[in-house]
Chains A and B, each alone.
Chain A
Amino acid sequence: MPSIIKAVKLGFDYVKYSEESETPEHVSAIRGIDLSVKRGDFIAILGHNGSGKSTLAKHINALLVPTSGTMWIDGIDTSKVEELWKVRQKAGMVFQNPDNQIIGTVVDEDVGFGPENLGVATEDIWSRVDDALSKVGMLGFRDRSPNKLSGGQKQRVAIAGVVAMHPDCIVLDEPTAMLDPNGRREVLEVIRDLNEKEGVTVLLITHYMEEVVFADHVYVMDQGELVMEGTPREIFSQVETLKKYKLTVPQVTELAYELKAAGVKLPDGVLTRQELVDALMPAADSGKVEA
């Protein structure tokens, strides 16, 4: 099966004009990125600020075109101008700030904005909007003004706006960074639902470790390059390496790591609280915790 997102030797350079120096400076935001994402996967990309993860995300939606290498979305080269709208329909994008991506003054009008741009017939727009709003659990808010919603609700509306365009994959660029814990949970539930029930390929960009536990595959970026990849368990078992990239592991993983370092026999890469409990209980039974 061909991969939905594929990048080969992807690089993006730009020229930066700083106020201090006269000569423009060449910066390469990302370089040498090889990526291949299977249809229906839940992919997480981790990285601290300035690691190039947002730049990579914008390449998937063809908001940026690579200065070197190639990016394909469902087999379409994103640098082909005539395929631009097709690429953007296939790869929807949700941004960080919910306020700055909602265009409509009423919730359902905003969700209809994407289909309107695609030239979908009026009746189909309505059914798409109903469908998208119910998938994110916001159908009851369709007549509200977005300004009156909570951050998590706004972000769910933004996700519905992308879902209504029937994309093959959704790229979410730090969708929870501006939300409170409740909003963050709501949004993550919606994203997981879309992935599991609708089979939408999800690419979640974040710096919250807790959010990537459920991912099928995790990539870690640092200084514009992909530096680690693997399952969440594989990634989180390398606590020291992650710390080198200025990332912290989830609290439970950190605790398990510290316990292990202190001599408790535990497996590497404990991801959830339940796993830690399960791993600790037999250990406690045989009295090794005291040791």
Chain B
Amino acid sequence: MGEIALGQYYPSNSILHKLDPRVKFIGTIVYIVSLFLVNTWIGYLFCAGFLIVMVILSRVPFHFILKSMKPVFFILVITMLFNLFLTPGEPVVKFWIFTISDQGISMAVRMGARLTLLVMGSSIMTLTTTPNALTDGMERLFSFLKVIHVPVHEISMMMSIALRFIPILAEETDKIKKAQIARGADFETGGLIRRLKSMVPLLVPLFVSAFRRANDLAMAMEARCYHGGDGRTQMKPLRYAGRDYAAYAILAAYLAVCIVFCWRHL
């Protein structure tokens, strides 16, 4: 088992990579909102244009962004087909029991465009931000939830520890698997049920070891004076730089244009 790619971060030194994770998170949300605001061809073209500029700025090769479409491709096709055949309106093509209306075509294309842009837009965030930076950004963004006693710091600490231990546990799974195979376990053949059953001798030792690790780690954290988020300082605190404010300004302008599109039905 090689190195496991966590998330889909693409290392580079572009302006988007350097942006504060909070800006990118908010930017993604703004972009998603904008996709639901606009409803016209010009609007979609504008959103697509914005995305293309972002892709160029991110210096991520385009096929990486296309790859993010893979898991949702099936959903995309089904959505488009349903819209194509089931939207009532002026029939354009008719064969057997299927009717394709002109509204159907336009609806299908618009839904397809919306979904494609949505997935690609959010993939830019995950491609240009390390999972850790993203966790940090979310901790800061959602820190207002502390008021209603949501343990924001603790959740973010859990997420970053999980990120650190995923490769370790994956390696361990591999080791246990090999040890079981060496003693005659069979993980490869048989039906679904049989293969699921064969996972039990893999999962039990894995869980035991994960709990032991958790126990050790908790002790090590306490030994290093960890006592939750109160009174804790940060080594790498998130600080907005000039470019982050500029990015917020651009986002605001972008959103304003989209609102105008929506309002004027352009």
The reply to whether B235 and A100 contact each other, CB–CB distance below 8 Å, is no
The reply to whether B216 and A95 contact each other, CB–CB distance below 8 Å, is yes
Q: How far is the CB of A115 from chain B (nearest CB, A)?
A: 7
Instruction: Say which residue of A88, A106, A109 sits within 8 Å of B224 (CB atoms).
Output: A88
B 139-191 contacts with A by CB, 8 A: 160-161, 163-164, 167-168
CB contact under 8 A between A117 and B225, given known A100-B213, A103-B164, A104-B164? yes
What are the residues of chain A within 8 A of B161 when measuring CB–CB?
103
The reply to whether B167 and A103 contact each other, CB–CB distance below 8 Å, is no
* B219 touches A (CB below 8 Å): yes
Q: How far is the CB of B135 from chain A (nearest CB, A)?
A: 10
The reply to whether A103 and B132 contact each other, CB–CB distance below 8 Å, is no
The reply to whether A115 and B216 contact each other, CB–CB distance below 8 Å, is no
Q: How far apart sit A122 and B235, CA to CA, in the bound complex (Å)? A: 5
Instruction: Say which residue of A89, A109, A129, A147 sits within 8 Å of B167 (CB atoms).
Output: A147
What are the residues of chain A within 8 A of B220 when measuring CB–CB?
93, 95, 100-101, 103
* B237 touches A (CB below 8 Å): yes
The reply to whether B168 and A99 contact each other, CB–CB distance below 8 Å, is yes
A 76-124 contacts with B by CB, 8 A: 85, 88-89, 92-93, 95, 97, 99-106, 108-109, 112-122
* B63 touches A (CB below 8 Å): no
Q: How far is the CB of A144 from chain B (nearest CB, A)?
A: 13
Q: How far is the CB of A65 from chain B (nearest CB, A)?
A: 13
What are the residues of chain B within 8 A of A92 when measuring CB–CB?
223-224
Q: How far apart sit A46 and B239, CA to CA, in the bound complex (Å)? A: 49
Q: How far apart sit A122 and B210, CA to CA, in the bound complex (Å)? A: 33
Contact with B along A193-213 (1 / 0, CB 8 A): 000000000000000000000
Contact with A along B102-143 (1 / 0, CB 8 A): 000000000000000000000000000000100000000000
What are the residues of chain B within 8 A of A52 when measuring CB–CB?
none
* A161 touches B (CB below 8 Å): yes
Q: How far is the CB of B2 from chain A (nearest CB, A)?
A: 13
Instruction: Say which residue of A61, A103, A121, A129 sits within 8 Å of B217 (CB atoms).
Output: A103
The reply to whether A100 and B237 contact each other, CB–CB distance below 8 Å, is no
Contact with A along B217-254 (1 / 0, CB 8 A): 10111111111000111111100000000000000000
CB contact under 8 A between A119 and B231, given known A101-B217, A103-B217? yes
* A126 touches B (CB below 8 Å): yes
The reply to whether B226 and A115 contact each other, CB–CB distance below 8 Å, is no
The reply to whether B224 and A113 contact each other, CB–CB distance below 8 Å, is yes
Q: How far is the CB of B146 from chain A (nearest CB, A)?
A: 18
The reply to whether B235 and A114 contact each other, CB–CB distance below 8 Å, is no
The reply to whether B221 and A126 contact each other, CB–CB distance below 8 Å, is no
What are the residues of chain A within 8 A of B132 when measuring CB–CB?
105-106
Category for how many chain B residues contact A: 20 to 34
Q: How far is the CB of A118 from chain B (nearest CB, A)?
A: 6
* A125 touches B (CB below 8 Å): yes
* A63 touches B (CB below 8 Å): yes
Category for how many chain A residues contact B: 35 or more
- Shortest Cβ distance from B231 into A: residue: A119
Q: How far apart sit A89 and B160, CA to CA, in the bound complex (Å)? A: 24
Instruction: Say which residue of B216, B227, B235 sits within 8 Å of A85 (CB atoms).
Output: B227
Instruction: Say which residue of B168, B217, B232 sits within 8 Å of A117 (CB atoms).
Output: B232
The reply to whether A122 and B226 contact each other, CB–CB distance below 8 Å, is no
The reply to whether B233 and A119 contact each other, CB–CB distance below 8 Å, is yes
What are the residues of chain A within 8 A of B160 when measuring CB–CB?
105
The reply to whether B219 and A95 contact each other, CB–CB distance below 8 Å, is yes
What are the residues of chain A within 8 A of B235 when measuring CB–CB?
108-109, 112, 115-116, 122, 125-126, 129
The reply to whether B233 and A125 contact each other, CB–CB distance below 8 Å, is yes
- Shortest Cβ distance from A102 into B: residue: B164
B 195-227 contacts with A by CB, 8 A: 213, 216-217, 219-227
Q: How far apart sit A93 and B221, CA to CA, in the bound complex (Å)? A: 10
What are the residues of chain A within 8 A of B168 when measuring CB–CB?
99, 147
Q: How far is the CB of B232 from chain A (nearest CB, A)?
A: 6
Among B223, B232, B234, residue most surrounded by chain A Cβ atoms (within 10 Å) = B223
The reply to whether B223 and A63 contact each other, CB–CB distance below 8 Å, is yes
- Can you report 21 residue pairs joining A to B where beta carbons are below 8 Å apart? A88-B224, A93-B223, A100-B216, A102-B164, A103-B217, A105-B163, A109-B235, A109-B236, A113-B224, A113-B226, A114-B225, A116-B233, A116-B234, A116-B235, A117-B232, A122-B234, A125-B233, A125-B235, A146-B164, A161-B224, A165-B225
A residues sitting closer than 8 Å to B (CB atoms) are 61, 63, 85, 88-89, 92-93, 95, 97, 99-106, 108-109, 112-122, 125-126, 129, 146-147, 161-162, 165
B residues sitting closer than 8 Å to A (CB atoms) are 132, 160-161, 163-164, 167-168, 213, 216-217, 219-227, 231-237
Sample of 13 further A-B pairs with CB below 8 A, known A88-B222, A100-B220, A108-B235: A92-B224, A95-B219, A100-B217, A101-B217, A105-B132, A117-B224, A119-B231, A119-B232, A120-B233, A122-B233, A122-B234, A147-B167, A162-B224
